[in-house]
Amino acid sequence: MKKIHYLLFTLAGVAMLFTSCNQQGNKSSNGALSSSAAEKVYVAPGEHDEYYAFVSGGFSGQLSVYGLPSGRLFKVIPVFSQDAEKAWGYNEETKPMLNTSHGFVPWDDSHHPDISQTNGELDGRYVFINGNNTPRIAKIDLSTFETTEIIEVPNSAGNHSSSFVTENTEYVVAGTRFSVPVPQRDMPIKEYKGNFKGALTFISVAPEDGGMDIKFQLLMPGFDYDLSHPGRGASHGWFFFTTYNTEESHTLMEVNASQNDKDFIAAVNWKKIEEYVNNGGGTMMPSNYAHNVYDEHTHTATSTMKKEVLTVDPTKVPGAVYFLPTPKSPHGCDVDPSGEYIVGNGKLSADLTVHSFTKMLAAIENEKFDGEAYGIPILNFEDVLAGTVSQPGLGPLHTEFDGQGNAYTTFFISSEVVKWKLGTWEVVDRQPCYYSVGHLMIPGGNSRKPFGKYVLAMNKITKDRYLPTGPEVTQSAQLYDISGEKMELLLDFPTVGEPHYAAGIAADIVKQRSKKIFSLTDNKHKYATTSDADVRVERNGKEVHIYMTMIRSHFNPDNIEGVKVGDKVYFHVTNLEQDYDVPHGVSVIGANTSELLIMPGQTETFVWEPKQVGVWPFYCTDFCSALHQEMQGYIRVSPANSNIDLSW
Ligand code: RUQ
């Protein structure tokens, strides 16, 4: 019966989706967009955009940087996946960044970027982003737009409820999607119920240098933890996590995990737990995880394997965790700018449920509980309910806020963004999305002070919206103006990978932090060659180390002899430029480890293992000057048994 219900619901949704496709397709192709829409997204040549949008790449594993309102793509920042364009994960300096306890894992599924905050406002220092598949959290430094730290999350699987920051970036939080045996062990899957655990991981971020460290892991009952958001303002000190599969099923999930009328939002008082662990609470548990750090001065990453993690049993910290019943597999868990409202988007619910933080505190104070689950008190649904938005659409996923008292929720099945009012819960506007929207983003929408102005919808399907490119059409984002009472669609633009979620910030905040060059005198790379006097080639058994420099428009040395088949040749190349925006690239014929792309003042290394004798060219791969084509050299490779000495 249940199953049929769900099917009908889905079918109705699909039918709706197609109707809306057809109608809206006409609307846009007959020029329904106003010319003012074009004006609003037009950024004249040489002018800058007003906002940065950091859009995750989903299965591409990366983070793309766009300008808003233009939708122009500026950069793809490699995070969890190897990127040949920038040698990320190929050069010797960055390979350790992709180490995990499962070995070198050069791919992940990047989902939720979140920008660091001070006093609940975006400060533009870092972007954090989660890798879902081999659970990891990365930090991108917005002075260089480079990934500078990746920490693996042990005891987690499908790191989906991540990576959201508290309002002074005290913590970046990672919640597991799948519950698993903790610690991992060989056991029958059917013993899931009551035995698997869901780890919610609080990673501290050092105020001075942003260094990450796992402070503690809260080991929760074996539900699935879908998404999370920090409290802010009055609710600062709390963190909220949606759960589904409170049934604790392990098979046929689409049916079995949708039985309960209500799942929970878990409210976690992290300040209380922090105090508990600071006073010696918690249990150290053996767990392997990698912690990879890229050092700005040596331009080199190091990977350390950690062996244990501090775990906390929530029942040992009274008053730290409560469950708020929330209808039908809530997905998004979004807290409004004031910190009072906690919105739970029940995927299979007809209504949106909004909880009140004040009411929650009062219910806790009065100890009014509706039973417990694994020792964690369950609050009464009615006691904590602030209100419901009735039947706003089908398949609600995520909500963001404009700071003007309005909330915007995406509906996947009915494919639309719906605007509604906090406090009165009335729907005031709705706009179709093309098609099947997942997340949406208002710049600063996940902070105390949203910038408002635009909402970006990130769609899962595009169908007829772009020129066909074989069986798959580009994925896409859509920009709406939200400065008026009604939303106005301004722009579609294609994205890299799946535009899963995004974080947006006023450009001025980031612009002033952005670095122009790396100072050569500051280059502490182990193999740096900062002056031409130090250029050399050294042999150590079968290893050959080339200490090379590059500057417009030559390499030094540019002729190398004495290398033999079977050698392992290390090119350590330093870019001597001290001008903004003058990187050089280098590669050599047959090198299968990607090129190097070296920023001014930096050193990078690639390894070449020549297989054939000959005289082989190498050249600059990044067009750098009028004499770029002359920026080249030769390396001579002799037979393994030759007695030619190294020379350059
Ligand atoms: S969620 S499936 Cu961000 Cu709606 Cu990942």
Distance 112 CA to ligand 1 centre (A): 8
Ligand 1 pocket test, pick from 55, 56, 111 with the greatest ligand atom count within 8 Å of Cβ, gives 111
The pLDDT of residue 7: 36
Residue 134 resides in a domain: yes
Q: Calculate mean pLDDT across residues 208-237.
A: 97
The pLDDT of residue 439: 98
Peptide bond into 557 cis (omega under 30): yes
Ligand 1 pocket member 439 (CB < 6 A): yes
pLDDT of residue 40 exceeding 60, the answer is yes
Distance 332 CA to ligand 1 centre (A): 8
To which residue do tokens 């040489």 refer? 46
pLDDT of residue 495 exceeding 60, the answer is yes
Residue 31 resides in a domain: no
Mean pLDDT of the chain: 94
pLDDT digits (tens, 9 = 90+) for 561-581: 999 999 999 999 999 999 999
Ligand 1 pocket member 331 (CB < 6 A): yes
Which ligand 1 atom lies nearest to the CA of residue 500?
A: 3
Ligand 1 pocket test, pick from 130, 177, 417, 439 with the greatest ligand atom count within 8 Å of Cβ, gives 439
The pLDDT of residue 594: 82
Which ligand 1 atom lies nearest to the CA of residue 331?
A: 4
Residue 466 resides in a domain: no
Sheet with 352-356, edge to edge strand ranges: 330-335, 341-346, 352-356, 385-389
Distance 459 CA to ligand 1 centre (A): 12
The pLDDT of residue 11: 38
Percent of residues, the chain, with pLDDT higher than 70: 95
Ligand 1 pocket member 501 (CB < 6 A): yes
Peptide bond into 163 cis (omega under 30): yes
Which ligand 1 atom lies nearest to the CA of residue 438?
A: 4
Distance 369 CA to ligand 1 centre (A): 31
Domain residue limits at 608: 523-638
Confidence of residue 8 (pLDDT cuts 50, 70, 90): very low
The pair of three-digit structure tokens given for residue 440, joined into one six-digit string: 């949406």
Residue 188 resides in a domain: yes
Distance 583 CA to ligand 1 centre (A): 36
The pLDDT of residue 33: 72
pLDDT digits (tens, 9 = 90+) for 443-467: 999 999 999 999 999 999 999 999 9
The pLDDT of residue 413: 95
pLDDT digits (tens, 9 = 90+) for 273-286: 999 999 999 999 99
DSSP 465: G
Q: 609 burial class (0-12, 13-18, 19+ CB within 10 angstroms)?
A: middle
CA distance 335 to 364: 19
pLDDT of residue 267 exceeding 50, the answer is yes
Q: Find all residues with CB under 8 Å of 35, minimum gap 6, and list them.
A: none
pLDDT of residue 44 exceeding 60, the answer is yes
Confidence of residue 501 (pLDDT cuts 50, 70, 90): very high
The per-residue DSSP string of 21-49 comes to: HHHHHHHHHTT-S-HHHHHHH---TTPPP
Residue 277 resides in a domain: no
Tell me the backbone φ, ψ of residue 237, rounded to 5 degrees. 105, -15
Confidence of residue 350 (pLDDT cuts 50, 70, 90): confident
Beta-bridged to residue 407, according to DSSP, are: 401, 420
Residue 533 resides in a domain: yes
Query: In total, how many domains does the chain have?
Result: 2
Which ligand 1 atom lies nearest to the CA of residue 226?
A: 1
The pLDDT of residue 32: 59
Distance 242 CA to ligand 1 centre (A): 12
CA angle 230, 236, 240 (to 5 degrees): 30
Distance 413 CA to ligand 1 centre (A): 14
User: Is 87:594 a contact under the CB 8 Å cutoff?
Assistant: yes
Residue 121 resides in a domain: yes
pLDDT of residue 372 exceeding 70, the answer is yes
Which ligand 1 atom lies nearest to the CA of residue 398?
A: 4
Which ligand 1 atom lies nearest to the CA of residue 132?
A: 5
pLDDT of residue 547 exceeding 50, the answer is yes
Distance 113 CA to ligand 1 centre (A): 12
Which ligand 1 atom lies nearest to the CA of residue 160?
A: 5
User: Is 162:108 a contact under the CB 8 Å cutoff?
Assistant: no
The pLDDT of residue 563: 98
Ligand 1 pocket member 229 (CB < 6 A): no
Distance 111 CA to ligand 1 centre (A): 7
The pLDDT of residue 305: 98
ipTM: 0.95
Confidence of residue 74 (pLDDT cuts 50, 70, 90): very high
pLDDT of residue 506 exceeding 50, the answer is yes
The pair of three-digit structure tokens given for residue 394, joined into one six-digit string: 């089908």
Give the pairing of strands 427-432 and 476-481.
unpaired
Distance 315 CA to ligand 1 centre (A): 29
Ligand 1 pocket member 460 (CB < 6 A): no
Distance 226 CA to ligand 1 centre (A): 8
Distance 207 CA to ligand 1 centre (A): 29
Distance 131 CA to ligand 1 centre (A): 12
Which ligand 1 atom lies nearest to the CA of residue 112?
A: 3
Distance 438 CA to ligand 1 centre (A): 7
Confidence of residue 208 (pLDDT cuts 50, 70, 90): very high
The pLDDT of residue 18: 39
Better-scored residue on pLDDT, 20 or 50? 50
pLDDT digits (tens, 9 = 90+) for 474-491: 999 999 999 999 999 999
Residue 45 resides in a domain: no
Ligand 1 pocket member 397 (CB < 6 A): yes
Q: Calculate mean pLDDT across residues 291-297.
A: 95
Ligand 1 pocket test, pick from 227, 253, 413 with the greatest ligand atom count within 8 Å of Cβ, gives 227
CA distance 436 to 460: 6
Cα dihedral 259, 261, 266, 267, rounded to 10, equals: 180
Q: Which CA distances in Å does 387 have to 315, 382, 390, 421, 423?
A: 30, 9, 9, 11, 8
pLDDT of residue 24 exceeding 50, the answer is no
Distance 397 CA to ligand 1 centre (A): 8
The pLDDT of residue 26: 34
pLDDT digits (tens, 9 = 90+) for 583-599: 999 999 998 888 899 99
The Cβ of residue 202 has, within 10 Å, a number of other Cβ atoms equal to 23
CATH number for the domain that contains residue 575: 2.60.40.420
Ligand 1 pocket member 347 (CB < 6 A): no
Ligand 1 pocket member 330 (CB < 6 A): no
585: nearest Cα among 594, 596, 575, 593: 596
Q: Calculate mean pLDDT across residues 54-76.
A: 98
Q: Find all residues with CB under 8 Å of 1, minimum gap 6, and list them.
A: none
Ligand 1 pocket member 438 (CB < 6 A): yes
pLDDT of residue 104 exceeding 50, the answer is yes
Distance 589 CA to ligand 1 centre (A): 42
